[in-house]
């Protein structure tokens, strides 16, 4: 099992540019989460998908952030336009939603630096 | 200037000692708890979980204890090794019908194991 795959692993961009982060969940998992981790705020949930449908996006900071899940094996998190305060590590996690387990499995993360 | 971030609790132990990492959770209705280990530059990695109908669960070299009376969770690591050095996060799941199993993460504890 390859685990959750994220790309790119590192992204450096300039303020105002569009950034797209990508995630491939574990095959067979039907729930996907996007998190952001910073020293200031720790690990924050941004958005949650179940069966490719966004269920809770209350953690998305503002309209500059958007996420899609066009199919069960792919999701994107887009920031447009990016700002220096968006610099963080962004994690994708997936889970197989059944009553007997709630374990989320995390990807390696994308370290985003906005100059 | 110097940035202000989370001040994570720290625990330093000698190799071979047992480690105990503590976590206080907030929601008395939480029915599932999980410990993650995060090494530098990596995503959180599942260690062990426990449901609220249990007070103890053991894995390989790790034990999780749950005290619902005082809303306290602990992770015990036996014979701690340098490879155990990482940040450890506890997380709780709200069983509420609309929360879809959202995990709320603690701030983390830094464990340093000295050879």
Q: What is the pLDDT of residues A38-96, one digit of tens each?
A: 988 889 999 999 999 999 899 998 899 999 999 999 999 999 999 999 999 999 999 98
Q: How do strand A19-24 and strand A31-38 relate by DSSP bridges?
A: unpaired
Q: What are phi and psi of B16, to 5 degrees?
A: 95, -20
Whole-number Å distance between alpha carbons of A107 and A6? 6
Q: Closest partner residue to A45 among B4, B42, B102, by Cβ?
A: B102
pLDDT at B6: 64
pLDDT per residue of chain B (115 residues) written in tens, 0 to 9:
444 566 789 999 999 999 999 999 988 888 899 999 999 999 999 999 999 999 999 999 999 999 999 999 999 999 999 999 999 999 998 776 555 678 889 989 999 999 9
Asked if B36's CB is within 8 angstroms of A39's CB, the reply is: no
Q: How far is CA A64 from CA A12, A13, A28, A39, in A?
A: 17, 15, 30, 21
Q: Closest partner residue to B42 among A39, A40, A108, by Cβ?
A: A108
Task: Annotate A47-77 with DSSP letters as a single string.
Answer: EEEETTEEEE-TT--STTEEEEEEETTEEEE
Q: What is the pLDDT of residues A8-36, one digit of tens each?
A: 999 999 999 999 999 999 999 989 999 99
Q: Does A55 touch chain B (CB under 8 A)?
A: yes
């Amino acid at each position: 099992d390859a685990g959750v795959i994220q790309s790119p692993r590192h992204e450096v961009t300039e303020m105002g540019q569009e950034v797209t982060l990508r995630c491939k969940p574990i095959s067979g998992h039907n729930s996907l989460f996007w998190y952001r981790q910073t020293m200031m705020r720790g690990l924050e949930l941004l958005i949650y998908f179940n069966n490719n449908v966004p269920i809770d996006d209350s953690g998305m900071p503002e309209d500059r952030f958007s996420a899609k899940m066009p199919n069960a094996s792919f999701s994107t998190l887009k920031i447009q336009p990016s700002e220096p305060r968006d610099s963080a590590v962004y994690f994708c996690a997936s889970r197989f939603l059944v009553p007997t387990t709630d374990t989320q499995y995390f990807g390696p993360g994308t370290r985003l630096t906005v100059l | 200037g110097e940035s202000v971030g989370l001040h994570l609790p720290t625990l330093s132990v000698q190799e071979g000692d047992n480690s105990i990492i503590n976590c206080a959770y907030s929601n008395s209705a939480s029915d599932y708890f999980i410990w993650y280990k995060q090494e530098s530059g990596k995503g959180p990695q599942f260690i062990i979980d426990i449901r609220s109908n249990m007070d103890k669960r053991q894995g390989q070299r790790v034990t999780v204890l749950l005290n619902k009376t005082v809303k306290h969770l602990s992770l015990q690591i036996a014979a701690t090794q340098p490879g155990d050095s990482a940040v450890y996060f506890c997380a709780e799941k709200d069983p509420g019908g609309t929360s879809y199993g959202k995990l709320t993460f603690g701030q983390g504890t830094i464990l340093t194991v000295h050879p």
